[in-house]
Each structure stands twice: as structure tokens, then as C-alpha cells.
Amino acid sequence: MSAQNEDPKALPIGMARFGMPFVLGFLLLGLVVAAGGLGYLQQRLHGDIVTGLRTVGQGGPAWGLYICFDVMFVGFAFAGISLSALTRLFRIQTLWPVTRIAEVLAVISLMMAGLCVIADLGRPWHGLINLPRYARTNSPFFGTFTLVIGSGLSASLLYLFLDLRVDAAWWSNRVGLHGQLFRWCAMGFRNTAQEHRRRRRVSFWLSLVLLPLMLISYSTLGFVFGIQGGRPGWFGALQAPSFVILAAMSGLGIIMVVAALVRRALALQEQISERVFLWLGTTVAILSLFYVYLIGVDTLTSRYASSEAQNVVSREITEGRFSPLFWSMLACFLVPTVVLLERGLRRKPSIALAVLSGVLINIGAVLNRFLVVVPSQTHGQLMPWPTGRYEPTWVEFSVVAGLLALGTMMFLIYLQVFPILPLQTLGLSTPVAAPKEVRTRALLRRTAAWITFLGGLALALLGLALSARWGTPRPEGDPLLPGSPVMFLMGVVMMLAAALVYELFPSARPKPVPETR
């Protein structure tokens, strides 16, 4: 490579900096994770009775804090991968420095979302075995398992790996464990102009595919609530778009917070400029205004012309027991909106105000998810059941805190192993000239990618048909073939892997030119 003689250790990437603040912070996070593990152990030993969760209609809700943060984590992932994809698709140079942060947060957040679902299951092992075998397409949980957690995590990992490959090749000349890891991640990347063209082409098409995939995935999570006709407070057409907009708000808010912390901790003031926070803050403010509008529309509809059960839920949220949470949520949305819009209109960014706004937006998002999940289970009864109550116990708080600490630890580990800034933001990666790829090799590359994509499409359609029991008299029954939901998931993953095949398909090395006499 053309610039391998440079000293990688001189770059302000923060790799392998095991200082005392890192060690102390890591130990503190480890204690929080241990407390979460202790709480979950109590739940497994004594049952869900140690939590505030109960059977709907018999004292409380079946979903509580765990599902609130499951939705929260998936929202972080949606915003992270969408930010990265949009930045590459429209070549928004200002946001390039935070794309890697967004991608890492997306991967970690989807892992934490899956653990939230496991924590909520009364019999987790039973659920982990039977959901992949018998998930039904007429249930939104089919989409949650296959698209949200499964293909969403696969797509995020693929996107991060392909983005990291160029950077890994830059540091592959290092000795020791880091060098071996970078050489493995580089997968033969030689920094040629042809490879960079393929990288841009794959990035463009993968971004074009990932954006609708993530939109469908997160909308599916909204459908889990929105299409339950027998549950007042959930049933409605606005659930899916509301979930998407709030996910973008909270995700961009957490990206602002993390980017500011990384910028300060690793002295990246030149690389992560203040304009980044101006862009992100203005976008969050606009989304927040639109989301508050949706809240007003939904509240007016629920109070004006809905069923009595729906009206009861709405009154409890705006005037009754949950009203302090509701009005606090609105304040957490409106105050940052005013601050961020004022800064955006004046073109005067403030990182401190952006961080504070990001924290407030996410506090409001947690309150909103609580108001979506809980009141409809405790007060939205169509059956003659008594009103329930829900107060999370220390078990739930400790498990959620443990998951947040675990995600933070994973991010810190990433900082110690891989670069957090893409090379192009540092102006270091200059492609070297190479002979043009021969037509036969290019044809083989495209053929292999298309075979992978079409094979995945066929596998996904077959898995979907078997899961949905197409053409059978009982479409509501179990899948015709146990495990066909996994077949559908593997097909979707295989379709995404076509990008990996196209980029990693080996190039023919140029033949040596014979010497002339």
C-alpha cells in the first residue's frame, strides 16, 4: 500500500489505550453487569413473580420495562444504520466522521434488544427453540424474529465489516495480535483503484437495499402493537410511522451524545467538527416537531370519536395516573426542539446543548415507550377485568441497567481494537494504480454475486411459503415444515451476502511483464 510507511500509532484513533480511566470505568461497568446478572438469576430461580409483570387482567401487564427497552434498542439500531446508509447514498461529507460510531451502535443495540426479549420470556429456552421452528407469518412476531433481530443484525454486521475492511488493510502491517486481526478483516484488500470502485458501488447498492429493509423491519415492530384490534390504546394506523420517527429521534440523539464523548476522550476535535452536531441537532428537532404533531393527532382522535375503552386509556395517560409521565415526555421533546432549532437557524452549533438535548430526547423516548406499552394492558380492558398496576421492581431495573452497561463495555472494547474514524475522514487512504480487471474475471464476479442473490431469494420465498402455508386450507396452522422461518431468514441473509461475494471475489493478480533485451 502506498502509505504503509506512515506510523499508525500517531493517529488519534484511541486504539489500545488501556489507561487507568478506562480500567476503572470498565470495572465499574462490570459491577453493574454483575448486578444485572444477579437480578436475572433471581427471576429464573423464583419466577416472574419477583418482577412487576403479571397476567393481563389479573393484576398487571405482561410486558413492561424489558419490552420498553427492547423497542428502545431497536430504535438505536434503526437510526444508526439509516444514518450511515443515507450518508453514503447522498455523500453527506459532514457526517462521514460519525458513520462508524452509528454502525457500531447499530450492531450492539440489536444484540441488547435480543437479550431484552429473552429477559421478558417466562421460559426463554422454550421460546428460543420453538420460535424458529413454529413462528407463524400471521403474527407480527414472525417479522420481529426474522427481519428485526435476524436480518437487521446480519445487515448491520455486514455493513460494518465491509466499511471496516479498507481501514483494516491500512493497519495490517502491524505485528502482533492487532496485525493478525487486521489482516483477517482486510480479506486481501490491496488498496487498488478497482477495489475502491467496487467498494463504492457495493456501498451505494447496499445502502439502497438497507434503507427500505430497516424501514420495514422497524415498522414491523410497530405492527406488533398497532394491529392488535382487541387492545385499546395500541390498535391504530399511526403506530408504525410513530415508531419509525421516534426511533430516528432517539437514535440520532444517542449518536450525538456518544460522538461528543468520543470526540472529547480521543481528542478528535478536528475530525468530528461542530457542524456534525448542527446537522444532527437540526434533524432531531424537525423529527421531534413532526412526532409531537402525531401525538396530538392520536390524542385528539382517542378523546373525540373513539370507543369507551380507548377513551379510558387516553384519559389515564393525559389526565390520570400516567399524566405526570405524559407531560414530562412532552417537555423532554419540546425543550430540546426549541434549543436545537434556534441553534440551527442561527448556524451556531453548541456541542454541550446538543448533548443535553440528546439526553432529554432519550428520556422522553423511554417515557413514551412506557406509555405505549403499559397503560393499554392495565387500563385498556374490553373484558370485565379489574384495573391493574405496574411498578418495576429492583430485578427489572438491575437487568436493564446491566444490559446498558454491557452495551457500553462492548463499545469500549471496540474502541480498543478497531478504529472509530473511517480512513477517508483522515485523508490517509490513497488508492494505488493497478491493471484493469480482465473481462472474464469481472463476469465471474457478477455471476457469483447474482447466483448468491437469486439463491437467497428462492430460499426466502420457499421459507415464507412453507411458513405461511400458502395453498392449504388451514393457513393459521403451524408451518408446513418446522424450521421454515429460519429458512426464510437464511434466504434474506444470503441475499444481503451477495454484496459480500461481489466485493470479496478474488481478483486475478497481474502477470509479470517479461524483460526486453
For residues 371 and 54, what is the distance between their CA atoms, to the nearest angstrom? 17
Question: Both 381 and 445 in a single domain?
Answer: no
The whole-number pLDDT of residue 508 equals 61
Q: Which residues neighbour 220 within 8 Å (Cβ) at sequence distance 6 or greater?
A: 140, 143, 144, 147, 148
Of 218, 235, 208, 183, nearest in space to 110 by CA: 218
Is 403 inside a domain boundary?
A: yes
- Structural domain total, the chain: 2
CATH of the domain at 291: 1.20.1630.10
Task: Point out the domain boundary residue: 400, 434, 468.
Answer: 434
- DSSP assignment letter at 149: I
pLDDT in tens, the chain (517 residues): 333 334 544 444 555 566 777 888 899 999 999 999 999 999 999 988 999 998 887 778 889 999 999 999 999 999 999 999 899 888 888 899 999 999 999 999 999 999 999 999 888 888 888 888 888 887 767 877 787 888 888 888 988 898 888 888 877 777 667 778 888 888 888 777 888 888 888 888 888 888 888 888 788 888 888 888 788 888 888 888 999 999 999 999 999 999 999 998 888 888 889 999 999 999 999 999 999 999 999 888 888 877 888 888 889 999 989 999 999 999 999 999 999 999 999 989 899 999 999 999 999 999 999 999 999 988 887 777 888 889 999 999 999 999 999 999 999 989 888 888 887 666 555 566 556 666 788 899 999 999 999 999 999 999 999 988 887 888 778 888 888 999 999 999 999 999 999 988 877 655 544 444 4
Is 75 inside a domain boundary?
A: yes
Question: Both 169 and 272 in a single domain?
Answer: yes
**Cell 444514518 found at:** 83
Question: Both 456 and 402 in a single domain?
Answer: no
Is 2 inside a domain boundary?
A: no
Record the cell numbers describing residue 260, joined without a space: 461528543
Question: Both 426 and 457 in a single domain?
Answer: no
Is 7 inside a domain boundary?
A: no
Is 516 inside a domain boundary?
A: no
Question: Both 202 and 271 in a single domain?
Answer: yes
Question: Both 299 and 411 in a single domain?
Answer: yes
Task: Point out the domain boundary residue: 375, 410, 434.
Answer: 434
Backbone angles phi, psi at 429, to 5 degrees: -90, 105
Question: Both 399 and 317 in a single domain?
Answer: yes
For residues 447 and 442, what is the distance between their CA atoms, to the nearest angstrom? 9
Give first-to-last CA distance, the chain, whole Å.
30
Task: Give the range of the structural domain holding residue 83, as residue numbers without chain letter.
Answer: 18-434
Of 432, 414, 469, 464, nearest in space to 104 by CA: 414
Q: Dihedral (C-alpha) 146, 397, 18, 426: value to the nearest 10 degrees?
A: 50
The whole-number pLDDT of residue 517 equals 43
Task: Point out the domain boundary residue: 434, 449, 474.
Answer: 434
C-beta of residue 288 within 8 angstroms of C-beta of residue 358? no
